[in-house]
Chains A and B, each alone.
Chain A
Amino acid sequence: AQKVTQAQTEISVVEKEDVTLDCVYETRDTTYYLFWYKQPPSGELVFLIRRNSFDEQNEISGRYSWNFQKSTSSFNFTITASQVVDSAVYFCALSEPIQGGSEKLVFGKGMKLTVNP
């Protein structure tokens, strides 16, 4: 079965610091998808990125960047020049095929990021 490990449970940084959130996954599938979601205190999940297993290119979106390395089964997320608004819980997730041809998501335990002014 799929497994997602987010070893860090909580990180606290000061504004403008860079922070990297680790995600390690386990799967036997050759085709799979990885995700990152942000969950602010309001509770609503905010989609950040989806990456399929065949696309190992790193991605940058503004202050966010992702490093996908199949060799180490990792999909790490870096926030550059963090801001107070980045404070949230961040979840890494992995797709798992289910009957009917779709995929369900297996979530890591989440990492709470606190950015202090």
Chain B
Amino acid sequence: GAVVSQHPSRVICKSGTSVKIECRSLDFQATTMFWYRQFPKQSLMLMATSNEGSKATYEQGVEKDKFLINHASLTLSTLTVTSAHPEDSSFYICSARVSGSRVEQFFGPGTRLTVL
């Protein structure tokens, strides 16, 4: 099946710093990528939908200035957590929708962010 990678898989940072997470579709083009956040023992909550070449669409309650999303190519989307705080510590998962498919999407392995 198609492969989506995320980098880094784990990151620990100090409060106030910014962290960038990359999501790459390795063997297919993805017009749309989705960013989810998962707190411990909770479900996945969609944060934003990232479309190649245009601005991301954020879900209600998600601060767009704090969670910067860039989708500069058909295989790469990045999520930058700016001025991270301990409450931003979470598991961030991306998924990539296969271009031309309405619903087929593949998930990355996730990035565990810990903010000290």
Report yes or no: B34 in contact with A44, Cβ–Cβ below 8 A: no
Pick the interface stretch among A61-69, A76-84, A98-106: A98-106
Mark out the residues of chain A between 76 and 98 whose CB falls within 8 Å of any chain B CB in the assembled complex.
Answer: 91, 95, 98
Q: Which residue of A lies closest to B108 (CB)?
A: A44
How many B residues are at the interface, by size bracket? 20 to 34
Report yes or no: A95 in contact with B32, Cβ–Cβ below 8 A: no
- Give the chain B neighbours of A43 by CB distance below 8 A: 91, 93, 109-110, 112
Report yes or no: B42 in contact with A102, Cβ–Cβ below 8 A: no
Q: Mark B27-48, 1 if CB is under 8 A from A, else 0.
A: 0000110100000001111100
Q: Known contacts A101-B102, A102-B97; is A91 also within 8 Å of B49 by CB?
A: no
| Cα–Cα distance between A58 and B42 once the two chains are bound (Å) | 29
A–B complex contacts, Cβ < 8 Å, 15 sampled? A42-B109, A43-B91, A43-B93, A44-B109, A47-B107, A98-B57, A100-B31, A100-B32, A102-B31, A104-B46, A108-B43, A109-B42, A109-B43, A110-B42, A110-B43
Q: List the interface of chain A (C-beta within 8 A of B).
A: 33, 37, 42-45, 47, 50, 91, 95, 98-110
